[in-house]
């Protein structure tokens, strides 16, 4: 298992569907997870620190879990079958481990609210993660050049 963080929530430019991008701490791998609009919103709200006047569904779920004496230990995106991701929510209650089947989008939204870690199986990282693009030395040099550019550089030298 590889621990990952939510890097961003956005729209896939080709299909215009919401996507959550997960990345490892070193940002070596990126795992794109297609989600529904409501789930994308539920995840983005937490990332942006937006307070809602009333609890949303994932807030209600977390409150229910806590009121029943359990805590969200972690979530695990376990497998990818026929282009569908599967996840498990791992709870702990009175020292007992409880596993719930869940959609990755709901699991991520809950994990963010609970402050619980997000894990992705090695199989998924191997099969569907996008490796970090290699650094291009020329592009990096050009960026450096642009950063050091000033308006005086465009004035005609006498």
List the domain boundaries for the chain.
2-154
User: Measuring CA to CA, which residue among 126, 138, 106, 131 is closest to residue 26?
Assistant: 131
Instruction: Report how far apart, in Å, the C-alpha atoms of 30 and of each of 7, 120, 127, 137 are.
Output: 8, 11, 12, 22
Model confidence band, residue 150 (pLDDT cutoffs 50, 70, 90): low
pLDDT by residue (tens digit) across 31-41? 999 999 999 99
pLDDT by residue (tens digit) across 4-45? 999 999 888 888 899 999 999 988 889 999 999 999 999 999
Residues 6+ apart with CB under 8 A from 87: 75, 76, 77, 78, 101, 102, 103, 104, 106, 107
State the architecture of 2-154 in CATH terms: Roll (3.10)
Residues 6+ apart with CB under 8 A from 48: none
Over pLDDT 70: what percentage of the chain?
A: 84
pTM: 0.81
């Amino acid at each position: 298992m590889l621990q990952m963080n939510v890097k961003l929530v956005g729209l896939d430019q080709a299909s215009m569907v919401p996507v959550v991008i997960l990345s490892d701490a070193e940002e070596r791998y990126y795992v794109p997870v297609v989600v529904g609009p409501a789930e994308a919103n539920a995840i983005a709200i937490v990332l942006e620190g937006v307070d809602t006047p009333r609890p949303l569904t994932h807030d209600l779920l977390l409150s229910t879990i806590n009121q029943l004496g359990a805590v969200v230990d972690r979530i695990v995106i376990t497998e990818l079958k026929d282009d569908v991701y599967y996840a498990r929510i791992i709870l702990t209650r009175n020292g007992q481990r409880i596993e719930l089947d869940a959609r990755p989008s709901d699991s991520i939204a809950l994990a963010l609210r609970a402050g619980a870690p997000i894990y992705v199986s090695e199989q998924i990282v191997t099969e569907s993660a996008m490796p970090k693009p290699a650094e291009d030395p020329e592009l990096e040099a050009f960026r450096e050049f642009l950063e050091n550019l000033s308006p005086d550089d465009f004035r005609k030298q006498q």
